[in-house]
Amino acid sequence: MTPRLLRTATVTAALLLGTAACGSSGGSDPLASPSSGSSASASGAASGSGKTVVVGSANFPENVLLASIYSQALKAKGVKVEEKFNIGSREVLYGQLKSGGLTVLPEYNGALLGYLDAKSPALSGGTEAVNAALLTTLPAELTVLDSAAAQDNDSLTVTQETADKLGLKSIADLAGKSADFVIGGPPEFKSRREQQLKDAYGLTFKEWKPTGETTANAIKDGSIQVGNVFTTDPKVVTLKLVSLTDPKSVFSTQNVLPLVNKAGVDATATAALNAVSAKLDTPGLTALMKRVAVDKDDPSAVAKDWLKTNGLV
């Protein structure tokens, strides 16, 4: 990702950090009973009617794109929206959402849960397990809405040449080799993942470089040998890179979902955001990211086209 980590999303769906955390609820609140493959509906959230919904995003292209999709979907239903995109990492965004400075954030469910509870056993489960854990882990001010089928997973990625030469198929295959490698990713990647990769796979790297959005290119040109690249990044295909499998689920499932401040969303806003999640899948998100990352199309225009195609505006 990345960026996801809101890819290191970002543990994803957060989307924004609709991916980051969710609050427990009880009684008849439907948020207390997430359905398979998605979080529960937030129809019981406090009414935000007449209020301005502030949609934020992390500082990487996919999250900006998702935030623009959320923003335009809300506007199409008559919701007053203010956009605050490209703010920073989850470490910055989460506090702003909790305090009410932001109302909606695209998140990634596994990345969000990992941020809140790195040792949660649900991280090794699927979408339903992660969403259920979020609903009992998030503070009372926050919740997640329905998660999309779309996933954008963090990965450790190498060139095809490196994979072939060293027989690399999974992250576990880096054991005994990582000490010779420079690894790159978002600026926060080391603090988030260094200990996890050491504990799970016994990996220690020669150097950690903050390569940000240039990570895929840095892998290809050899300035790093391993990089944290989001699986929906079209450069994985165009640069002929290989994303290693993660048998110990360090990166967890990463469904895109809205993380919201309950006081700022009403039934209209909730329905609009859930409608986006119902339509968004991984192939579709990958295609959108090709337009943004490779074709250099404006994210707001790409978002508008997707919403029109899916009958949401």
Residues 96 and 234 in one domain: no
The pLDDT confidence band at residue 213, using thresholds 50, 70 and 90, is: confident
Is the same domain home to 51 and 101?
yes
267 in a domain, yes or no? yes
Last residue of a domain, one of 223, 243, 263: 243
Whether 125 and 257 map to the same domain: the answer is yes
Q: Is the pTM of this model over 0.85?
A: no
Structural tokens at position 106:
């695209």
pLDDT in tens, 251-299: 889 999 999 999 999 999 999 999 999 999 999 999 999 999 889 999 9
- Residue 170 resides in a domain: yes
Q: Which two tokens stand for residue 144?
A: 């997640």
Domain termination residue (choose one: 215, 243, 271): 243
- Torsions phi, psi of 152, nearest 5? -130, 100
**CATH number of the domain bearing residue 262:** 3.40.190.10
Q: What are the two backbone dihedrals, phi and then psi, of residue 206, each rounded to the nearest 5 degrees?
A: -60, -40
Asked whether residue 136 falls in the same domain as residue 274, the answer is yes
Dihedral of the CA atoms 14, 95, 48, 144 (nearest 10)? 30
Helix or strand holding residue 112 (H, E)? helix 109-116
Give the integer Cα–Cα distance in Å for 256 and 45. Answer: 20
Give the 3-state secondary structure of residue 160.
helix
Residues 107 and 227 in one domain: no
Assess whether 270 and 145 both reside in one domain. yes
The pLDDT of residue 43 is 34
Which pLDDT score is estimated for 25?
30
Please give the pLDDT value at position 249.
83
- Domain assignment of residue 304, given as a range: 30-152+253-309
pLDDT at residue 21 is higher than 90: no
Whole-angstrom distance, CA of residue 94 vs CA of residue 117: 14
